[in-house]
Structure 1
Amino acid sequence: MVLKHYDVIVIGSGPGGEGAAIKAAKAGKSVALIEKHKIGGNCTHWGTIPSKSLRHAMQRLVEFKSNPLFEHVSHRLNIQYPDLLHSAASVIDRQVRMRQGFYDRNHVDIIYGHARFIDQNIIEVIEEDGSVGKQYRGDSFVIATGSRPYRPRDVDFSHPRVCDSDTILQLKQTPNSITIYGAGVIGCEYASIFRGLGVKVNLINTREKLLAFLDDEIIDALAYHLRERGIIIRHNEEYSSVEATDESVTLHLKSGKAIRSDLLLWANGRTGNSQNMGLEEIGIAPNRRGQLDVNEKYQTALPHIYAVGDIVGYPSLASAAYDQGRFAGTELVDGFCEYHLVANIPTGIYTAPEISSVGKTEKELTEEKVPYEVGHSFFRSLARAQITGQTVGMLKILFHRDTLAILGIHCFGAEASEIIHIGQAVMAQKGEANSVLYFANTTFNYPTMAEAYRVAALNGLNRL
């Protein structure tokens, strides 16, 4: 039997798969993209897009209810969680149609089903009903299958009161209370969303502090504002069992505590989608987290098979996954790629308030014995923040005391994930161009949130 042949076969249509497929197609390669579920992958349907759309809708609702102009009508609003999901659905639909257009214009064939390797160059596609479909031959492959929520075997996720970050998007009503187990990025974001709807929130953290990879001052600010909004945070806890009934769900902790609520959201860890792909049989062994090891070119143990995105682990960001896919596509087409992921990848955490950072934290610089100084700008002092009413937050610049080079930027507050890119651009410059003096001496539009950079720079230089 003659199999249909492609130069490149990409498995998964999330950001990583999209970046690789479009790059290879634009280079003139024949490309097929295999997608198990829907165009856009986990990012569009269960991860970044729906959660950030939910958060945005919640934030607008909170702003409306707290605006004195509308206080005479705001009490009449009865917005529920399914209403927020409905608003997110329209965004998802536009994203899918847009991405489908990318593939159509670039002549990428879309094949639906689960991909499984028969040998190093042949895959078969298993249909949704479990039947085996066609086989395809490829010269190169890019695995971009993403990840899924980790599910312990002793927790019954079939129970309607037990959810993970995928099934929470199918919730049909707003709970009166929710317990979120896991205080990582997903847990903190959903804690903000549900608290914005007036839901009682218990946030259970298995570690000593929230989001320990952030700067300590930002962590403290986040914890303070979450608690101020009424979220109960419990640190250093570990579950022993989950007891779900028709009326409620109780999370039993090893410390002896029992947390009862209407709903449990399990947000503790993710697993790479590498199962049942025939990878072990061709010499590619996933690790215990289901992730694949790759080299600096994103090649697996087999040089013609690449892997990008969440399936390779860190940094597990949609933004980085797209670039990884694009770089892997360049490698397999040209044999080399002069570009790589930037050294300082910005993080964006869509809690309320928002968090974004790039570069070193104070703790890291102290451990590395780097002489640094700190410049602060508090949003409450900025005219733009006062105009918009978004006065909670700050911008923090860390810079070298001698060279004045920018070492890290940390932002907490409204539009933090947008504000951070100004600092990222200056940090990326070489030599004297990377200097806190740029912010002190340049002219920013007024009033803007970007002006925080000038205020923080002058604040830090004054400390010298």
Structure 2
Amino acid sequence: MPKYDYDLFVIGAGSGGVRAARIAASYGAKVAVAEEYRVGGTCVIRGCVPKKLLVYASHFAEEFEEAAGFGWTVGETSFDWKTLVANKDKEIDRLNGIYIRNLQNAGVEIIESRATLADAHTVLLAGTGKKVTAERILIAVGATPFLPDLPGIEHAITSNEAFHLEELPRRVVVVGGGYIAVEFTGIFNGLGAATTQLYRGPLFMRGFDDDLRALLAEEMTKKGVDLRMNADIAAIEKKGGELCLTLANGDVVKTDIVMYATGRVPNTKGLGLESVGVKLGKSGEIVVDGYSQSSVPGIYAVGDVTDRANLTPVAIREGHAFADTVYGGRDVKVDHSIIPTAVFSQPELGTVGLTEADARARDPEIDIYKTAFRAMKSTLSGSQERSFMKLVVDAKTDKVLGVHLMGPASGELIQAIGIAVTMGATKAQFDATIAVHPTAAEELVTLRDKWQPPAQQAAD
């Protein structure tokens, strides 16, 4: 008789958990996955995928307007929120079905239940009260939206609820300054809602290159967003059919919806981790080593629940590396040092490697190459939106340390550029690459003049 019911029991069927389960099963492991909501996790069900669909929808009003410069006459247009939501839901249902089939085809058992830890090798299934055992347990439950404790917070929504609003609100306030906040601000604004974004600090998108942060703020303001920095809500009050937001400085903002996108916290509460000795960090994240193993042998964790780099592709890579190492006989660690990423703001951002500030903190001998311009399409469309490109280069080795983009298709571009940066490409190798003309991307291989701070330019 086998010692355990399963070789691997995965708690959470998001991107990281599904990948780990499938790869482990392909190596011959007996695997089960427990999921209390829907297979696919945050990204597929209520994150990256539905959000990108809404981003696409929000671009059309601008594109209809710009078509006139190219000779098109666009007739009367209208937008129906209910149609968008219904079509989005159909696509999510389709993807959910694909994830389920992929697990089943791999031989993974899917258990529709919340699961918690009873001990280091035992899982309690809330749906039936049954206990099952596993040689190894993988925690992949992701993260959940954070809401601050303030008067009236029960009237606020998060991105989870934003995907299922019955009507598109006339007025929206988005609170926060990261990926989710700027993306939903662009969505609501593009779909025609009067949109305000509040951020408690001096400039949003903390952790991104400062040029990108400043230029994005300018472009969003040009598109009609009421962008307020150094602003935070002290209280929310519902009066009749509207919400009255009292800000910390005493100002009052009236709105129909207030959406908080002030970060996410690891979804570890109530899993029983502390009772079995799993070490947690200050935000509740599971502390793991380079192989995703927790402080308790046999218990592992991948994805946002570890708070290493909270991106879907990272969770997938971590899940795959775990399965390769533990069940495939390979020694695989995930390198978190260079991670290409896109922000589907309006305009879009793409970034990989070090920011200018981070690079200078490591070594002041840094060369900067950058350019800002209106894309060719804008010359006829009349759009005043600017694109921006920046290279951060080690002056001693000529290695490209960071690339930062703003403009159409920046997310697509940064995937290819990420390969070059990961491989350690030099500025000379960028320069030696023949340009593709006419494209915006050719700027990346034709930048020749080093940027100098204004004071230095004047001195020269």
The answer to whether the aligner puts 1:355 opposite 2:346 as a matched pair is: no
Preserved CA contact (<8 Å) 1:8 1:30: yes
The answer to whether the aligner puts 1:452 opposite 2:448 as a matched pair is: no
> Structure 2 counterpart of 1:346, which letter?
P
Aligned partner of residue 189 in structure 2, secondary structure: helix
Matches within 5 A, 1:16-415: 16-68=16-68, 72-74=73-75, 76-127=76-127, 132-154=128-150, 156=152, 159=155, 162-334=156-328, 337-380=331-374, 392-415=386-409
Q: CA deviation at 1:369?
A: 3.1
> Structure 2 counterpart of 1:135, which letter?
K
**For 1:191 and 1:243, how far apart are their aligned partners in 2?**
22
CA-to-aligned-CA distance 1:88-134 (integer Å, 9 cap, x gap): 2233223212222211221111101100111111111112xxxx343
The residue number in structure 1 matching 2:426 is 435
Preserved CA contact (<8 Å) 2:4 2:135: no
TM-score by length of 1: 0.90
Preserved CA contact (<8 Å) 1:251 1:258: yes
The answer to whether the aligner puts 1:421 opposite 2:412 as a matched pair is: no
Superposition CA RMSD, Å: 2.6
Tell me: CA distance 1:103–1:156, structure 2 relative to 1, closer, same or farther (3 Å).
farther
Preserved CA contact (<8 Å) 1:304 1:332: no
TM-score by length of 2: 0.91
> Structure 2 counterpart of 1:40, which letter?
G
223-232 or 446-455: which moved more?
446-455
**For 1:171 and 1:423, how far apart are their aligned partners in 2?**
37
**For 1:90 and 1:14, how far apart are their aligned partners in 2?**
19
Preserved CA contact (<8 Å) 1:271 1:290: yes
> Structure 2 counterpart of 1:437, which letter?
A
> Structure 2 counterpart of 1:278, which letter?
G
Preserved CA contact (<8 Å) 1:53 1:88: yes
**For 1:142 and 1:374, how far apart are their aligned partners in 2?**
43
CA-to-aligned-CA distance 1:390-421 (integer Å, 9 cap, x gap): 86312211112232110110000111111112
Preserved CA contact (<8 Å) 1:10 1:142: yes
Q: CA deviation at 1:287?
A: 3.7
Q: CA deviation at 1:448?
A: 3.4
Tell me: CA distance 1:37–1:191, structure 2 relative to 1, closer, same or farther (3 Å).
same
Preserved CA contact (<8 Å) 2:352 2:421: no
**For 2:178 and 2:451, how far apart are their aligned partners in 1?**
34
288-297 or 336-345: which moved more?
336-345
Preserved CA contact (<8 Å) 1:3 1:135: no
Q: CA deviation at 1:377?
A: 4.2
Q: CA deviation at 1:388?
A: 8.8
**For 2:353 and 2:281, how far apart are their aligned partners in 1?**
28
Aligned partner of residue 22 in structure 1, secondary structure: helix
Tell me: CA distance 1:385–1:446, structure 2 relative to 1, closer, same or farther (3 Å).
farther
Unaligned 5+ segments in structure 2 are none
Q: CA deviation at 1:257?
A: 1.5
Preserved CA contact (<8 Å) 1:58 1:84: no
Name the count of aligned residue pairs. 452
Q: CA deviation at 1:356?
A: 1.2
Q: CA deviation at 1:459?
A: 4.0
Unaligned 5+ segments in structure 1 are none
> Structure 1 counterpart of 2:444, which letter?
Y
Q: CA deviation at 1:357?
A: 0.7
Aligned partner of residue 236 in structure 2, secondary structure: strand
> Structure 1 counterpart of 2:136, which letter?
S
**For 1:72 and 1:439, how far apart are their aligned partners in 2?**
41
82-91 or 200-209: which moved more?
82-91
Q: CA deviation at 1:145?
A: 0.2
34-43 or 244-253: which moved more?
244-253
Q: CA deviation at 1:210?
A: 1.0
> Structure 1 counterpart of 2:429, which letter?
Y
> Structure 2 counterpart of 1:303, which letter?
P
Tell me: CA distance 1:287–1:369, structure 2 relative to 1, closer, same or farther (3 Å).
closer
> Structure 2 counterpart of 1:121, which letter?
H
Q: CA deviation at 1:303?
A: 2.0
**For 1:30 and 1:386, how far apart are their aligned partners in 2?**
59
Preserved CA contact (<8 Å) 2:279 2:294: no
> Structure 2 counterpart of 1:139, which letter?
E
